[in-house]
Amino acid sequence: MKTEETEICIVGSGAGAGPIAYSLSEAGFKVAVLEKGPWFTEKDFYKDEIAVSRRSTFTPKLSEEKHVLEQENNDGTWEAESTEDSGWDFWNGNCVGGSSNFMTGFFHRLKPFDFRLRSEFGEIKNANVADWPIAYEDMEPYYALVEKLVGVSGRVVQHPFLEPRSTKDFPYPPTLEHPIAKKIDENCKELGLFPIPAPRAVLPYAAMNRGGCSYSGFCGSYGCATGAKGSSRAALLNAAIRTGKCEVKPNSMVAKLISDKKGNVVAAQFYNEQNELRQIRAKIFVVACQAIETSRLLLLSTGEKHPAGLGNNQGQLGKNLLFSAGGAGGGDFLYEKLSDKEVADLKIKGPFINRALQDWYVIKDKNFGDKAKGGLVEFDFQHPNLINRADKLKWEDGKLLWGNALKKKLKAYFTGARHLRYEVFCDWSPNDNCFVSLDSNIKDKWGLPAAKVRLGSHPYDLKVGEYIAEKVENVFAKMGASNISSSITPEPPSNLMAGGCRFGRDPKTSVLDPDCRVHNVANLFVTDGSFMPTGGSVPYTFTIYANSFRVADKIRKQLGKEPLSVS
C-alpha cells in the first residue's frame, strides 16, 4: 500500500478541523487534512436552489452513502430505516470546509453555567446530564480568538445573560440590519424583554483576504460567494495553506485508523479519488468529521488494544449523541394591514435581522421547579428558497391543490405577506436512546458498515421548547403578526449534532480526557462537536471552533511549542 508521511493528520475539514490546521501549520508542523468530499471555492457558490437544496450537490447521494435511523414506535419498540428509503438526509456538507460552508452563522457563546449544567440545575430523570471537565474561563480566551480569526460581527450590549468577556466588543461591527429589527426591539422592550443584537460569523466588509458580505439574502444552506461567511475553509484552511505547511487532500475517505501494540494510532487508511486504498502516517491524529461520522470511524478502527473500536474499551463510544432541541415557528405580516411605508420596508431583501432573545435562557417558573435551563430565540425571515416553499403549499386540508386554486394560493402567499420566523435552541438532554453504532447489514459504497443512529429524545426538552414557543408567540402577537404558529417537535435537526465522544475525567464514563485526547491513546484527539457532554442552548459551531483552538494549544504543548499567539 502506498504510504505518505506527515506530522499532523486531520480527518475532516470543518469547524473542528480548521483551527487545528491553522494553529499547527502556523507552529511549523507539516499538516495533512483528509476530506472525503471535493473542494469548492467562492467561485462555485451560486444562488441556485436546484443545486443547493434540491439535489445532493454538496452531500453524498443517499444511494451510495446512507445512515440507518432508528425511531421509536408507539409500543416502545425501535424501527430502523435506511435514509436511502426515507430520504431523511443526515449529511450536512461533505466538501472542504464541511458544513461550516453552509451555516447561518449565529455565533453565541455558551454561558458559564452551561459548563456545569448538572451542578447548576440538577439531574433530569432518565437523562445523562453531566458537567463539563473544564469551565467557561478555560474556553473564554478561545471564544475571543475565534471572534478575531474567523471574524465575528456584532455589538455587545448589557443584558442579564451576557457572558464574561475579555474583550469589550466584537472585532467587527454588525452587518446591515433590516428595518424589522427596530420593530422587534420596540415590541420586545414594551413586553419587558431584552432583545440583543445577534453576533454572526459574517464579515461586514472585506478583511483577512476575504470579501465582505454582499447581502444576497441567502446565507443559511448556501455557500458564501464572497468569503464573508466564516467557514473553516474561507477563514482558516486558506490561511493554513498559505503557510506552505498544510496540504488539503479532497476526495479522501478515511476508512480506518490503524493502531499499534501500545494502542497509539500510527496511520490513517483512506480511499483516494481513484478509489485506491492509501495510507498516511503521522505523529498526531485528529478526528473531526462531525459527530455521527466521527463515532463511526472510531468504531470502525478496531485494533489489538481497541477490540471494540478506538476509545471504546468502556463501551462509551457513540453514546449520548446530542442534537438541538426546540423548534421553529413564525407569523405573517400581511401587506393589506400595513401602510405603504411599512410594506416597502418589509419587502427589503438582503440585510440581516440580527436579533435574538435570551430572556428564557433560564426558566423561572413554578412548573419547572426552582429554576430550569431554557434556551435561545433567534429571529429570521423565512428562507428565500422558492421551490421548497411552493412545494409546501400544494396541500390543503389533505387534498392536492392544482390549477387556478393553486396559482391563487401561490400568488397570495408570495406577494401578500412577509413571513417572519423564529427558532428556539434548547438543550438536547443526553439519554440512553440517542447513540451511534454500526449497522450490521447496510454498507456504503466502499463496503464499510453505515452508521446506525438511534434518535431518542427526552420529553423534558419538548416541555422546555413549548414553554419558550408560547412566550415568543406573545412577541409575534404584540408585533401584529397574523397566522402565528409554532412547531416544537422531538425530531432532531440533522444539521445540529454533537456528542458521542463526550469528554470527562473518568474513562469509565467518557471517551475523551479534558484535553479531548482519547483516553489511553496519547496521539489521538477529537475536535468536532463530539466532545460535548451537553450542548448548551445555542448553535454549536462557535464552541466547536473555540474548543478546537483550545485543543490545538494542548497539542502544541505536547509537541513542545508555545500556545498560539495572535497579535
Partner 1 sequence: MKRRAFIHQSAFALYALSNFQGIKFLSSFSSDLSTLEETNLEQVLELFLPADAEFPGAIGLGAMNYFRWVLLDVDTPEKEKKRIQKGLQRLEISSLKENSKSFYLLTKKEKEDFFENFLKEEKNESWASLVLSYLFEASFSDPVYSGNKDEAAWKYVQYQAGFPRPPKRNWQKR
Residues that bind partner 1 (CB under 8 A): 38-41, 44-51, 54-58, 61, 63, 214, 216-218, 222, 225, 250-251, 273, 349, 384, 386-387, 390-391, 394-395, 400, 402-404, 406-407, 410-411, 414-415
Q: Which of 371, 354, 360 is nearest to 161 (CA)?
A: 360
Q: Shortest approach of partner 1 to residue 276 CB, angstroms?
A: 14
Please, which residue, 402 or 447, has the CB nearer to partner 1? 402
C-alpha torsion angle, residues 157, 471, 489, 541 (rounded to 10): 0
Q: Shortest approach of partner 1 to residue 336 CB, angstroms?
A: 15
- Cα separation, 428 vs 375, in Å, equals 11
Beta strands in 186-234, from DSSP E residues, in sequence order? 195-197
Please, which residue, 205 or 395, has the CB nearer to partner 1? 395
Residues sharing a CB contact under 8 Å with residue 384, sequence separation 6 or more, in sequence order: 217, 218, 349
Please, which residue, 33 or 524, has the CB nearer to partner 1? 33
Q: Are 538 and 424 in contact (CB under 8 A)?
A: no
Q: Are 499 and 529 in contact (CB under 8 A)?
A: yes
How far does CA 91 lie from the centroid of its chain?
Answer: 12
- Cα separation, 236 vs 229, in Å, equals 12
Please, which residue, 411 or 557, has the CB nearer to partner 1? 411
- Cα separation, 377 vs 473, in Å, equals 11
Q: How far is CA 134 from CA 30, 516, 519, in A?
A: 29, 11, 16
Q: Shortest approach of partner 1 to residue 63 CB, angstroms?
A: 8
Q: Shortest approach of partner 1 to residue 222 CB, angstroms?
A: 8
- Cα separation, 213 vs 151, in Å, equals 12
> First vs last Cα of the chain: how many Å apart?
44
Q: Shortest approach of partner 1 to residue 419 CB, angstroms?
A: 13
Q: Shortest approach of partner 1 to residue 40 CB, angstroms?
A: 7
Please, which residue, 183 or 418, has the CB nearer to partner 1? 418
How far does CA 42 lie from the centroid of its chain?
Answer: 21
Please, which residue, 44 or 163, has the CB nearer to partner 1? 44
Q: What number of other Cβ atoms are within 10 A of residue 212's Cβ?
A: 18
Please, which residue, 1 or 400, has the CB nearer to partner 1? 400
- 141 residue type, one letter: P
Q: Shortest approach of partner 1 to residue 385 CB, angstroms?
A: 9
Q: Are 27 and 247 in contact (CB under 8 A)?
A: no
- Cα separation, 53 vs 105, in Å, equals 18
Please, which residue, 402 or 562, has the CB nearer to partner 1? 402
Q: Shortest approach of partner 1 to residue 217 CB, angstroms?
A: 6
Q: Are 463 and 283 in contact (CB under 8 A)?
A: no
Grid cell digits, residue 70 = 432508528
Please, which residue, 191 or 390, has the CB nearer to partner 1? 390
Q: Shortest approach of partner 1 to residue 108 CB, angstroms?
A: 26
Q: What number of other Cβ atoms are within 10 A of residue 143's Cβ?
A: 26
Please, which residue, 48 or 186, has the CB nearer to partner 1? 48
Q: Shortest approach of partner 1 to residue 43 CB, angstroms?
A: 9
